[in-house]
């Protein structure tokens, strides 16, 4: 029985010049190559070339794995950023919808109240009843819309919307009441535009300051 011991040949490439894992692979490849050369009388130059090719191949596989890992991480990060941007757009779109509904509900209640005040106390009872029902429906719509607004709006918009609702429900038809509502309504619109990232028109800002 012949025992063969593979040893590192320092004349080929000093092992200290290779990374630890690559040097281990190199050592195993060269050892196996020497054993095969001894058994099959194959020239050492040919086997050494094959061993070098094997080490380079392993290094290439490692590089491919690393590149795939980096690419996967970048793709995941880009996907996360895209989802966050889409969520933000959806959130702003929902706020815009609720704010538009709120402004429209205020207008609907004002319209029904104006018709009641125009009718006066000497109007037809049936018409007065119909207008009262219309006003109640408009007020219900406004309250429901304000409820939605309270769930998504920032604190300043919430307070101004609540104040506008109180002023409007206490409206008696007098000029001071109308002026109070116009003032708080303009403040509410400015706060809504600011929350949506929309610029505030100069005329609106001047009107509120006055």
**Residue 181 contacts residue 164 (beta carbons within 8 Å):** yes
Q: Give the mean pLDDT of the chain.
A: 74
Residues 95-114 have pLDDT tens digits of: 999 999 999 999 999 888 88
**Residue 39 contacts residue 2 (beta carbons within 8 Å):** no
Q: What global pTM score does this model have? A: 0.57
Return all residues near 79 (Cβ < 8 A) that are at least 6 apart. none
Residues 172-205 have pLDDT tens digits of: 777 777 888 899 999 999 999 999 998 877 665 5
Select the highest-mean-pLDDT range: 1-10, 129-138, 185-194: 185-194
* Nearest by Cα to 193 from 205, 181, 182: 205
Average pLDDT over residues 122-140: 85
* Nearest by Cα to 187 from 176, 172, 210: 210
Residues 11-54 have pLDDT tens digits of: 544 544 545 555 555 566 666 556 555 555 445 555 555 555 55
Confidence at residue 5, expressed as pLDDT on a 0 to 100 scale: 44
Q: Assign 63 a pLDDT band (cuts: 50, 70, 90).
A: low
């Amino acid at each position: 029985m012949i025992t063969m011991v593979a040893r590192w040949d320092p004349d080929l490439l000093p092992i200290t010049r290779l990374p630890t894992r690559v040097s281990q692979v190199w050592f195993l490849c060269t050892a196996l190559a020497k054993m095969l050369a001894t058994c099959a009388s194959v020239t050492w130059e040919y086997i050494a070339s094959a061993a070098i090719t094997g080490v380079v191949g392993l290094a290439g596989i490692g590089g491919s794995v690393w590149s795939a890992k980096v690419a996967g991480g970048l793709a995941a990060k880009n996907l996360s950023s895209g989802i966050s941007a889409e969520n933000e757009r959806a959130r702003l779109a929902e706020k815009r919808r609720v704010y538009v509904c709120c402004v429209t509900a205020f207008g609907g209640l004002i319209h029904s109240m104006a018709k009641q005040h125009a009718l006066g106390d000497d109007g037809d009872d049936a018409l007065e009843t119909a207008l009262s029902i219309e006003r109640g429906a408009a007020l219900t719509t406004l309250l429901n819309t304000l409820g939605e607004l309270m769930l998504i709006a920032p604190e300043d918009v919430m307070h101004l919307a609540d104040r506008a609702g109180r002023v409007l429900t206490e409206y008696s038809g007098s000029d001071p009441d109308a002026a109070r509502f116009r003032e708080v309504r303009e403040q509410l619109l400015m706060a809504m535009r600011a929350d949506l990232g929309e610029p505030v028109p100069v005329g609106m800002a001047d009107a509120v300051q006055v």
